[in-house]
Amino acid sequence: MTETFKPDTTLPVRIAASPNHGERIGVERPSLIILHYTGMQDAHEALARLCSPASEVSAHYMIFEDGDIAQSVPEARRAWHAGASSWAGATDINSHSIGIEIANPGHEHGYVSFPDAQIKSVIALCRDIMLRNRILPQHVLAHSDIAPTRKMDPGEKFPWQWLHDEGIGDWAQPAPARAHKKITPTSRAERIAALQHDLARYGYDIHTSGQYDEQTSAAVRAFQRHFRCRHAGDARRPHQKARQGRSHFRYGLAAALTIAQRLWPI
């Protein structure tokens, strides 16, 4: 049924071709990497689903718990992983991105920590994709960032700080919210609007309504899953400060830190 193809990466991957892909629309090459979890108990069943025409879903890559990588869709093609989603004003995220599924049962089936071997493969693969496609570190995002009202993956156990230490993704150091700066659903409208403005400036699909509405609490939850997760990694790795000073992080992190200081903790 499905054609085979040559892997895009020189990393050891096996091909498990999926028929679920199409042309990228109006996009020459991807500029985002979207990270997911599979949300199924069995990783092999998850891969079978991504390759089944009936499912109408796919991802470019899937990474098993032991670090093995499968490629299902060529990077030049548009895979079907993002669904209705948005980032920094772009809405056809499938056309703009490369999707990576990471095997984990997810919140509905017994969410577990991601094994180190699996994360090492995530890091190696992201780095390889970023180099070949010239994707910026801050353009590696969670599915929950681009679809905060619908999605929770890869979730608060995903070690974003570790990835950032390896030059992948953003990281904002958690800081205790100062009481007078905290924004809650009962804060004044202009303060809620300022939070909404920062969330939108960072990339979330959110309108400045001045109301602590559903889109706002969803974006706040997504932000917290990404930047204030309870991952037990060492928060003070010595080289982290130097990385934060790198120019391509500045804009994103400045906005992220502003947001982090304003959030009402969940």
Q: How far apart are CA 14 and CA 61, in angstroms?
A: 10
Residue with smaller CB distance to Zn ion, 135 or 152: 152
Nearer to Zn ion, 84 or 189 (CB): 84
To the query of whether residue 190 is one of the catalytic residues in this protein, the response is no
Please, is 129 exposed, middle or buried when counting C-beta atoms within 10 Å of its C-beta (0-12, 13-18, 19+)?
buried
Q: Are 101 and 33 in contact (CB under 8 A)?
A: no
Residue (24 or 151) nearer to Zn ion, CB? 151
CA angle, 119 as apex, 114 and 122 as ends, to 5°? 130
Helix (H, G, I), strand (E, B), or coil: what is residue 79? strand
Residue nearest to Zn ion (CB): 36
Burial class of residue 66 (count of CB atoms within 10 Å of its CB; 0-12, 13-18, 19+): exposed
Closest distance of CB 230 from Zn ion, Å = 20
Let me know: does 14 contact 122? Beta carbons within 8 Å.
no
Shortest distance in whole angstroms from residue 48 CB to Zn ion: 17
- DSSP 8-state secondary structure symbol assigned to residue 259: H
Nearer to Zn ion, 153 or 170 (CB): 153
Residue 151 C-beta: closest distance to Zn ion, Å: 5
Distance CA 201, CA 206 (A): 9
> Distance between CA atoms of 186 and 39, rounded to whole angstroms?
35
CB of residue 110 to Zn ion, shortest distance in Å:
17
- Of the candidates 28, 101, 108, 214, the residue annotated as catalytic is 101
Of residues 8 and 153, the one with the C-beta less far from Zn ion: 153
Residue 64, Cα to own-chain centre: how many angstroms? 17
Minimum gap (Å) between residue 136 Cβ and Zn ion: 21
- Residue linked to tokens 């009202």: 149
What is the binding site for Zn ion (CB under 5 A)?
A: 36, 143, 153
Closest to Zn ion by CB, 49 or 143: 143
Separation of alpha carbons 225 and 206, rounded Å: 17
CB of 35 to Zn ion, least distance (A): 8
Report the sign of the C-alpha dihedral through residues 116, 65, 150, 72, in that order: positive
Residues designated as active site = 101
